Structure 1
Amino acid sequence: MEGKKFDINSIIGFVLIFGILLWFLYQNQPTEEEIEAEKAKTEQVEKAKEEQESTATPVVEETPTVDLTDSTALAQYKGSLGAFAYSATIPSAGDDITTFENELVKFKVSNKGGQIVEAVLKKYSTYDSVPVYLVKDGNASFNLNISTTDNRTLNTENLYFEPSLSESGENQILSMKLKASDNQYLEYRYELKPDGYLVDFTIRSQGLDNVLNSSQPVQLDWKQKGIRHSKSIEYENRYTRLTYMHDGKTSKLGQGDSDDDTDSNVSWISYRQHFFSTILINPAEFSNASFTSEKLFEEESKEEKYTKQYTSSIPLEVQGGELNYNMHWYYGPTDARVFKKYKDFNLADSIPFGWGIFGFINKHVFTPLYDFLSSVFPYGIAIIVMTILVRLVMSPVTYKSYLSQAKMKVIKPEVTEISQKYKDNAMKKQQETMKLYRKAGVSPMSGCIPALMQLPIFYALFMFFPTAFMLRQKPFLWAKDLSSYDTIYEFPEGFSIPFYGDHVSLFPILASVAIFFYMRMTTGQQQAMQQPTQEGMPDMGKMMKVMIYISPLMMLFFFNNYASGLSLYYFISNLITIVIMLVIKNYIIDEDKIHAKIQENKKKPKKESKFQRKMREMMEQAEAQKKKK
């Protein structure tokens, strides 16, 4: 039966696609040597810091928290502040909170440190219907480490700022001042517009030219732990990453347990928590900055609250005795549609579209295409429509692949005849086979190349569905969230299948079944692609039989924990491809006409390319040497 025939080109294509995909996923995994080198590097840095601290001029220790109602404690506290002792005398010098908000986001700013201590996105909720918080319960800190002219070191996160909330038109303005006197202060200025996630943020000083030590930069230290928002912390962590832009290009820290880096000319720093981001933007660029990222959990857990901890250390130059930095905060969704409002900052580059051509396809093709389709159709239907469009665009590639298989099928009897005639002379058999291919105008690799041409589409979609914000919490059929895996059954508490997970997803099962029948059909199109097995060589027929079952099994395990929208795409895609190939086979390709055309091609003189001539000469030389021996 024709259904039992096997197409080695299709199999090679699938194997290459899976192999390259796995290489992409694991290329950033550190080797043991790299881990050891990183440990050695960290130890050297720590040692250098200790040596530097041991030789440095003694400074005042970190300012402790103090009860400002205790007169004795207050006097001691003021003595430790030096020029900023005035800040302890203002009426609002306490742990009070000032709130400012718009329709999208709400902020709470503490007098202590003048920093944002709570940021909540009003229009979004987590998987368990809790509002999405980016800052809460002390998970973030923003501190300036200041060296003063009287040889003190002060940390602003422990000092008290005076708040002043006002309005300018529809904008809300919050001024937080750390005062040395009424006319001398360090100010954090927040300005929030009514319809956005961007907060204008200014750090500036006034009258502190005799207070700030101009010979040493003010050190900005920003830390934040990513708050968990998804049902699976492992899945969310895959797309949780510190990303930053420098010199007009984007870089990111590793996805593993810990990583660090230092760069110059940094224009923004993004603490991405999968679908939500906190971004510090400096259009004038930081001259340099150092970053760290550390994973905060060991394994999948329902109790873990945080994914990663990020830190950024940035020196701020004191110019003319004063500080003056005009920046922005972004607290909001990692959504390309929202980032369009702030296109001057290129925030869309913080979205993990993929690198190179894959990122280009996602950013400029799939994202705008799906954005349009989802505005017309329900989100699940939009995926199906997009799948149909993609398969129609790729149908010429499918046709080329099938046509190549049909040509190989037509000349199979002649290939078999050559194999039998020169079964004892492998070199001659190869020469005659290549000669036949050349005369017939057939290339055995032409069936594999179309499969490789589809690789950019395959990998681009692999990155698109898990990171497309527009799919977040959008249901379709039994899937509650197309950006995450669907669940039709959960295993008992504590039970999990290695590499598979603690649940059963239906869309990957359907996709695996579809790819199984697709492979059965494609491997049955062309028995000619399977050459007779030579002695000492592996039996390709048996290998292809195994691959028919291994490939769907790989998909079943691999996609069980990935976005259900991706599995839905591959399920529909394989069904459509099967239909297209059936139409091509039964209504478009005529094997009798192909045979007649090949016979005509064989009568025409064929001009050898330089490569073909070189290969022929090398084979002839090898054959001559073999005869001499």
Structure 2
Amino acid sequence: MDKKQLIGLLLIFGLFYTWSLMNGKSRAEIEAEQRIQDSIALANQPAPEETTANITNTTSTTNIPVPIANDSLANAKLAYQYGGFASAIGGEEEVLTLENDLIQVNLSNKGGFIKDVLVKNHYKLERQEDNSDKQVPLYLLKNSKNKFSYELPISGVPGEIVRTDELTYQGTKDGNTVVFRAPAGNGSYFEQRYTIQPGKYDLDYSISLVGLDRQIASGKKEINLNWVNHIDKLEQNFKFEKFYSTIYFKEVGEDSDYCNCRKDDEEDFEGKPLHWVSNSNQFFNSTLVAKSTPFAGAVMETEMQEDDSEDLKLLSSNIEIPYSGGSDYSFDMSIYLGPNDFNILKSYDIGLEEIIPYGRSIFGTINRWVIRPFFHFLDNIIGNKGIAIIIMIFLVKMILYPLNYKMLKSQARMGALKPEINKIKDKNKDDPQAAQMENMKLYREYGVSPLGGCMPMVIQMPIWYALFRFFPASIDFRQESFLWANDLSSYDVIAYLPFEIPAYGAHISLFTILWAISTIAYTYYNTKHMDMSANPAMKYVQYFMPLMFLFFFNSYASGLTCYMFFSNLFNVGQTVVTKKFVFNEDKIRAELLKNKDKPKKTNKFQERMQSAMKQSQALQEERKKKKK
């Protein structure tokens, strides 16, 4: 190595040494940095009580500043995460109560929303070990997993969001009003206000943002409300209750709508103004209503739960609250917390009664404006729901008796032609098509319609279907007892089984059994004189149907199966009395003979039927010839 190379290496070494001196940390700096890191670690984990006591009682000067450093770093961390709301984090829970003669609402300062609601004058039935039922208090919104949180768009915090359910509010109660206020520094705050009135199931509710306009992120026009409700099982037949529980909502200027009741569903109404959003069980609901200004939009989602889950369903709504800015902004709402009583919900005049699942179109109309008021009229006079059902059946049967009379008369006329029908049957034993054509000629000749007994039943179908929806939807039948049934809105139980039968259940409903037996007996009596040789399968189907429906109606509302059973009894009574004391077979026979001599007019339908029958008969004859 020559002299020049040695000088170059010395210069390079000198530069590296000088640079390390200028940029290196002193021992004091290194120790200070380590202390900061240790303090941060201590601030992020709670110290055990024993360790804290040792630090507090020691006289070592090096340990005295540690708690102060921890508090400072913790406060800095909260300020970073929550901005001006850092002082509203932590603290003990305080519950304030609002109460009237109908509900008791417990409000928590942790999150500032409803902890639970006791609905007075209504109860839950809990099955005991001896299979008896016990009444227990009924609560709404009583689930620790529930959420009701506004996402405040605060600038400078992570994600520009402060969730109000993480805040601890300063709560005050003045008469029938509770105010929760979360301070945000410099006199600004977020406030939730609740007021209850006597004799009402709803609360006046409002939120206020005071002095927060300087903290709200620029350009924000909405505040998102995240409402998550794990609704509880309130009815004995919770599997049935599940299919009547969902989210209902009403778009401004439109009819109400709802999420699918029988499967997971999502409804996206983002950017569409909504008047209210309701979380509804079969007979109770919790509804958030916008007052003068509608919600800016919402996305609603329902999620089914397993039968063994403690929850009935998971209902989630992300609701957009309009925000116009300013130093003092308020948004007024109300919260309904009570039963799905038609008259009560109708009194609010916002279409809230439409959450009661009476049905849509003509069936819902019949239930709301015909059957419901008619039944209430009877119930107010009689005072017993079961007896009122029987009286309603009697009156309905009397009103519809002209239709039933026509059906029975048509059957009697068909019975009077049975000798002629038997002759045709014997004449065409090997040719059912020919027998059917001759029967049609016979019916036309004597002026008898084989469909005459069916049309009255078809006309009554809308009423039957409306009743099918009426009983399980009406809270009037909830926990009302009649005979052995203790709840006409749920299934009646005559015996519990030690096992569960798929699609049937683990109980036996006596009203359903009685309905099936009476249906089979009535069918046998009513059709024993009818000729079913043209379609022998119908003879067995009519008996098979009631047995099949045993599985369906075993877990249905006993109010309906009670109605169906007593309706069958009235049908049997009307049929027996009419056939024995009203109809005269000789007179009916004479009437048919008169019709035989009258000139006949063939309508287009009969002409088409006869043409079709002739074509069918011609095809059969051709097939027979080909086989020969």
Indicate the TM-score class for this superposition, using the shorter chain for normalisation: 0.7 to 0.9
Q: Quickly say closer, same or farther: Cα 1:420–1:505, change in 2 above 3 A.
A: closer
Contact 2:243 2:262 in 1 (8 A): no
* Sequence identity (%): 35
Cα separation, 2, equivalents of 1:470 and 1:355: 20
1:221 to partner: Cα distance: 0.8
Mark the CA change 1:474 to 1:65 in structure 2 (over 3 Å): closer, same or farther. Answer: farther
How has the CA–CA distance of structure 1 residues 467 and 312 changed in structure 2, closer, same or farther, with 3 Å as cutoff? same
Which residue number in structure 2 is paired with residue 225 of structure 1?
A: 230
Matches within 5 A, 1:112-191: 112-128=110-126, 129-150=135-156, 152-167=160-175, 172-181=176-185, 183-191=187-195
Alignment of 1:272 onto 2:270: no
Tell me which residue corresponds to 1:290.
299
Q: State the Cα deviation string for residues 470-504 of structure 1 (Å, max 9, x = none).
A: 12112222222222122222223xx1122221122
Match of 1:547 among 507, 520, 542: 542
1:310-459 aligned at under 5 Å gives the runs: 310-321=315-326, 324-342=330-348, 344-377=349-382, 378-421=384-427, 429-459=435-465
- The residue number in structure 1 matching 2:494 is 488
* TM-score, scaled to structure 1: 0.79
1:562 and 1:66 mapped to 2: Cα distance? 55
Name the SS for the 2:125 alignment partner: coil
**Conserved 8 A contact 1:120-1:135:** no
- Following the alignment from structure 2 to structure 1, what is the Cα–Cα distance between the partners of residues 229 and 330? 24
Alpha-carbon offset, residue 142 of structure 1: 0.6
Measured at CA, do residues 389 and 571 of structure 1 come closer, stay the same or move farther in structure 2, by a change above 3 Å? same
Contact 2:206 2:333 (8 Å CA) reproduced = yes
Distance across 2 between alignment mates of 1:325 and 1:599:
80
Measure the CA separation in 2 of the matches of 1:74 and 1:66: 14
Superposition deviation, residue 346 in structure 1: 1.6
Are positions 1:107 and 2:105 aligned together? yes
What is the distance in 2 between the residues matched to 1:307 and 1:480?
Answer: 22
Contact in 2 for aligned 1:93/1:111 (Cα 8 Å): no
Q: Is the 8 A contact 1:214 1:318 kept in 2?
A: no
User: Does the 8 A contact of 2:75 with 2:86 survive in 1?
Assistant: no
Bigger Cα Rg: 2
**Letter of the aligned partner of 1:440 in structure 2?**
Y
The Cα of 1:258 is off from its aligned counterpart by 1.9
Q: Number of matched residues?
A: 541
Residues 137-163 of structure 1: CA deviation (Å, up to 9, x unaligned): 414211111222436211111123332
Instruction: Report deviation, 1:184.
Output: 2.9
Q: Which whole-Å CA distance do the structure 2 matches of 1:418 and 1:394 have between them?
A: 35
Helix, strand or coil for the counterpart of 2:276? strand
Give unpaired runs (5+ residues) of structure 1: 1-63
Residue in 1 that maps onto 2:56: none
Q: CA deviation at 1:182?
A: 6.4
For 2:151, what is the secondary structure of its paired residue?
Answer: strand
Aligned to 1:81: 82
The whole-number CA distance in structure 2 between the counterparts of 1:464 and 1:522 is 28
CA pair 130-624 structure 1, distance change in 2 beyond 3 A? closer
Cα deviation, 1:308-367, whole Å, max 9, x if unaligned, reads 11000122232245754322111101121322332x122111011122222122211222
Give yes or no for contact 1:214–1:319 (8 Å, CA) kept in 2: no
RMSD (Å) for aligned C-alpha atoms? 2.9
Deviations 1:119-142 (A, max 9, x none): 111222210322111122414211
Q: Give the residue type in structure 2 aligned to 1:100.
A: L
- 1:527: which partner in 2? 530
* Residues 231-250 of structure 1: pairs in structure 2 closer than 5 A: 231-246=236-251, 247-250=253-256
Relative to 1, partners in 2 of residues 1:323 and 1:602: Cα closer, same or farther, differing over 3 Å?
farther
2:189 is the alignment partner of 1:194: no
Partner of 2:553: 559
Check whether the contact 1:93–1:162 (CA below 8 A) recurs between aligned residues: no
Structure 1 residues 182-224: Cα deviation after superposition (integer angstroms, max 9, x where no partner): 6533322222111110112223323332222353332111010
